Amino acid sequence: MERVSKSGGLRIEERRVENAREFVTIGPEHEAWSADPPGTFHIGVGGAFVRIEPPQGASDEAVATARRCAAVTALRVTVLPRRRAAVVLPPRERRPHRKLREVVLELVEEARVDDPAALAAFVEKTMAKRGI
């Protein structure tokens, strides 16, 4: 039953429905993932709806084992996708900041052209016009 509390928030009162099937979640913290072999457990409730949420490091074999264990007594078993691990990038090495002029002149030196002196003169002239 839904009621609005004095603070304005929604409060849902829990009610037990007779003859309703259990809803069981085997989450990432469940003891099944640390069992030997991984993924083995006993639900203890017959005819339940079971949702399996494997941890990031669970192998496909452990997830399949958990599914088989749950299917023995469960009415329906659903396996949710694993949570994605956070992507941690290695820190970039710090390079000294160079001025635009230095970068352009370095690129001119590396360029493969027939007349490097003409290219250098053209670039110098263009940079002088632009005030670089």
Q: Looking at the structure, do residues 72 and 122 belong to the same domain, yes or no?
A: no
Q: Looking at the structure, do residues 57 and 106 belong to the same domain, yes or no?
A: no
Distance CA 18, CA 23 (A): 14
Q: Looking at the structure, do residues 26 and 75 belong to the same domain, yes or no?
A: yes
pLDDT at 5: 46
Residue 11 placed within a domain:
no
pLDDT at 39: 67
Give tens-digit pLDDT for 78-120.
999 988 777 788 888 777 788 888 888 888 888 888 888 999 9
| DSSP per-residue letters across 33-87 | GGSSSTT------TT-EEEE---TT--HHHHHHHHHHHHTT-SEEEEPPPPPPPP
Q: Looking at the structure, do residues 29 and 62 belong to the same domain, yes or no?
A: yes
> Would you report the helix, strand and coil content of the chain in percent, each value rounded to 5?
30, 15, 55
pLDDT at 9: 57
67 is in which domain, residue-wise? 19-79
Residue 4 has pLDDT above 80, yes or no: no
Q: Looking at the structure, do residues 26 and 73 belong to the same domain, yes or no?
A: yes
Give tens-digit pLDDT for 6-41.
555 566 677 777 777 888 888 888 887 887 777 677
Residue 24 placed within a domain:
yes
Q: Looking at the structure, do residues 123 and 74 belong to the same domain, yes or no?
A: no
Domain count, the chain: 2
Residue 89 placed within a domain:
no
Reported as type and span, the H/E element at residue 89 is none
Residue 8 placed within a domain:
no
